[in-house]
Amino acid sequence: MAEDLVLDTAIRDWVLVPLSVVMVLIGVLRYFVSKLMRSHQAPDLKVVKEGQVILRARNLRAAAGFIPAKSFRARKIYYTNEENGLLHVPKGQAQNAQAQMFSDPNLAMDMMKKNLSMIIPQTLTFAWVNFFFSGFVAAKIPFPLTHRFRGMLQNGIDLSTVDVSYVSSRSWYFLNLFGLRGLFSLILGEENAMDDTQRMMQMSGFGFDPTKSLGAEKDSIDIIQHDWALPKLEKRAEDVLKKLVK
Amino acid sequence: MVWEGDRGASGGAEDDLPIFNAENLQSNVKSIYYSRTFLSIIGGVIAGIWGFTGFTGFIFYFLVMAAASFGLATQAKFSVCTYFDSWNRIFLDGIFGGLMSFVLFWTFAYDIVHIF
Residues A30 and A58 in one domain: no
| pLDDT score for A97 | 53
Does some domain include residue A62? yes
| pLDDT score for B4 | 42
Number of domains in chain A: 2
* Closest in A142, A144, A190 to B110, CB measured: A142
Residue B3 — pLDDT band, cuts 50, 70, 90? very low
Nearest CA in chain B to A65: B17
Contacts of A4 in chain B (CB under 8 A): 115
Residues A154 and A213 in one domain: no
The 3-state secondary structure of chain A, one letter per residue? CCCCCCCCHHHHHHHHHHHHHHHHHHHHHHHHHHHHCCCCCCCCHHHHHHHHHHHHHHHHHHCHHHCCHHHHHHHHHHHHCCCCCCCCCCHHHHHHHHHHHHCCHHHHHHHHHHHHHHHHHHHHHHHHHHHHCCCCCCEECCCCCCHHHHHHHCCCCCCCCCCCCEECHHHHHHHHHHHHHHHHHHHCCCCCCCCHHHHHHHHHHHHHCHHHHHHHHHHHHHHCCCCCCCCCHHHHHHHHHHHHHC
Residues A59 and A116 in one domain: no
Residues A21 and A142 in one domain: yes
Residue B9 — pLDDT band, cuts 50, 70, 90? low
- Mean pLDDT to the nearest integer, A66-86: 75
**Residue-wise pLDDT tens digits, A216-225:** 777 777 777 7
Residue A211 — pLDDT band, cuts 50, 70, 90? low
Spell out the domain ranges in chain B: 53-77+84-115
Most confident of B84-88, B90-94, B109-113: B109-113
| pLDDT score for B5 | 46
| Reported ipTM exceeds the 0.85 cut | no
Does some domain include residue A102? no
Most confident of A111-115, A196-200, B40-44, B95-99: B40-44
- Determine the Cα–Cα distance for residues A202 and A105; give it in Å rounded to an integer: 18
Residues A81 and A184 in one domain: no
Residues A121 and A164 in one domain: yes
Residues A121 and A156 in one domain: yes
Answer positive or negative: Cα dihedral of A121, A126, A132, A137: positive
**Residue-wise pLDDT tens digits, A148-173:** 777 777 776 777 667 777 788 888 88
Residues A6 and A29 in one domain: yes
Contacts of A140 in chain B (CB under 8 A): 107, 110-111, 115
Residues A77 and A122 in one domain: no
Does some domain include residue A228? yes
User: Where is average pLDDT lowest: A202-206, B10-14, B71-75, B97-101?
Assistant: B10-14
**Residue-wise pLDDT tens digits, A96-124:** 555 555 556 666 676 777 777 778 888 88
A239 is in which domain, residue-wise? Answer: 45-95+209-245
Contact B107 A236 (CB under 8 A): no
Residues A135 and A172 in one domain: yes
Q: Is the pLDDT of residue A20 over 60?
A: yes
Residues A121 and A190 in one domain: yes
More confident residue, A197 or A26: A26
| pLDDT score for A107 | 63
Residues A32 and A53 in one domain: no
Contact B106 A142 (CB under 8 A): yes
